[in-house]
Amino acid sequence: MRKPLVAGNWKMNGSRDANSKLLSALQDGLGDLQAVQLAVCPPAVYLPEVIDTLSGSNIEVGGQDCSDEASGAYTGEIAGSMLTEIGCRCVIVGHSERRQRQNEDSAWVAAKFVAAQAAGLTPILCVGEQKEDREAGRTEAVVAEQLDAVLDAAGVEAFDRAVIAYEPVWAIGTGLTATPEQAQEVHAFIRNRVAGRDPRVAAELRILYGGSVKADNAAGLFGLADIDGGLIGGASLDADAFIAIARAAAESA
Ligand code: 13P
């Protein structure tokens, strides 16, 4: 049985004041929830404070990115071991915003995935196609390329300690959610591709959906066979919305 995971990707949002209000509302609203694993991924500068605030709660904390290198002359980068040291449990790698803005290619993302695991973090590997890819019928080819790069670099058993997030780029921050059927189709494709290497790993692997998940569409997505929770952007900044999404995931468990 795969325990659903709902993770909030705050992206480059927040302030000390806003974070403190959001976290106290989340703790009040989610304190009793056991059927779903919860995480928030704030901007790196806020991590120590957020970890401190959430210590003893049922909400884990993760980074939004980490370096593919262990340490050294890499200005501006953060090593996985640094995230682990301060108390992070997971880290997002390969988010489409970084693939686009920082030109992270699949080989680089795979190296980050490996480095994150070496540091003891659970990578949340993001994959997903652009609008033009979908329109040209290339969704599966794009997702396969992103996934295979990591399977080849890390080995399929590494996915025992990882999570995949399918985030169609055209659905991120646009209000255009993939229909549950569109999402399920790609989730099943991802699981089958992993199953091609190891059916047991695939059966236990959590595959999250991300892209305009809101309180009113979460249940429809999480109810499907291969959707094991969500990676939430905009709605994770709104306590009521995030709580409702987490509850929808708990009910799907
Ligand atoms: P939105 O929920 O704002 O569409 O963002 C999704 C996302 O990119 C999460 O990583």
pLDDT of residue 176: 84
| Site to substitute for ligand 1 among 213, 214, 217, 237, most atoms within 8 A of C-beta | 213
Which atom, in ligand 1's list, is nearest to the CA of 211?
A: 4
CA of 23 to the centre of ligand 1 (A): 19
Instruction: Report how far residue 204's alpha carbon sits from residue 96's, in angstroms, rounded to the nearest whole number.
Output: 25
Per-residue pLDDT at 253:
86
Give the number of the atom of ligand 1 that is nearest the alpha carbon of residue 126. 10
C-alpha 186: how far from chain center: 16
User: Which amino acids are annotated catalytic?
Assistant: 95, 167
What three-state secondary structure class fits 120?
coil
pLDDT of residue 231: 98
Tell the residue number behind the tokens 């884990």, with chain if given: 60
Backbone angles phi, psi at 213, to 5 degrees: -75, 130
Q: Which residues touch 233 (CB under 8 Å, ≥6 apart)?
A: 9, 11, 172, 173, 210, 212
Q: Which residue's CA is the nearest one to ligand 1's atom 1?
A: 233
Q: How would you write the pLDDT of the chain (253 residues) with one tens digit per residue?
A: 899 999 999 999 999 999 999 999 999 999 889 999 999 999 999 999 999 999 999 999 999 999 999 999 999 999 999 999 999 999 999 999 999 999 999 999 999 999 999 999 999 999 999 999 999 999 999 999 999 999 999 999 999 999 999 999 999 988 888 899 999 999 999 999 999 999 999 999 999 999 999 999 999 999 999 999 999 999 999 999 999 999 999 999 8
Asked whether the beta carbons of 79 and 71 are under 8 A apart, the reply is yes
Output the pLDDT for position 175. 83
Distance 127 CA to ligand 1 centre (A): 12
CA of 9 to the centre of ligand 1 (A): 7
Which of 48, 42, 35 has the alpha carbon at shortest distance from 5?
35
Chain Cα centroid distance, residue 158: 16
The tokens for 234 are: 């905009």
Q: What is the spatial distance between Cα 55 and Cα 167, in angstroms, rounded to a whole number?
A: 29
pLDDT score recorded for residue 177: 84
Indicate the SS3 state at residue 245: helix
Q: Which residues line ligand 1 (CB under 6 A)?
A: 9, 95, 167, 172-173, 210-213, 231-235
pLDDT for res 159: 98
Number of H-type helices and E-type strands within the chain: 11, 8
**Which one of 9, 126, 166 would you pick to mutate in the ligand 1 pocket, going by the greatest count of ligand atoms within 8 A of its CB?**
9
> Ligand 1 mean position to 211 CA, how many Å?
5
Burial of 214 (0-12, 13-18, 19+ CB in 10 A): middle
> Of 3.20.20.70, 3.30.70.660, 3.20.10.10, 3.20.20.140, which CATH number belongs to 5-63+77-252?
3.20.20.70
Tokens 């790069």: give the residue.
Answer: 149
Please tell me the distance between residue 97's alpha carbon and the centre of ligand 1 in angstroms. Answer: 10
**Residue 212 in contact with residue 179, Cβ under 8 Å?**
no
What is the rounded CA–CA span in Å between residue 110 and residue 68? 8
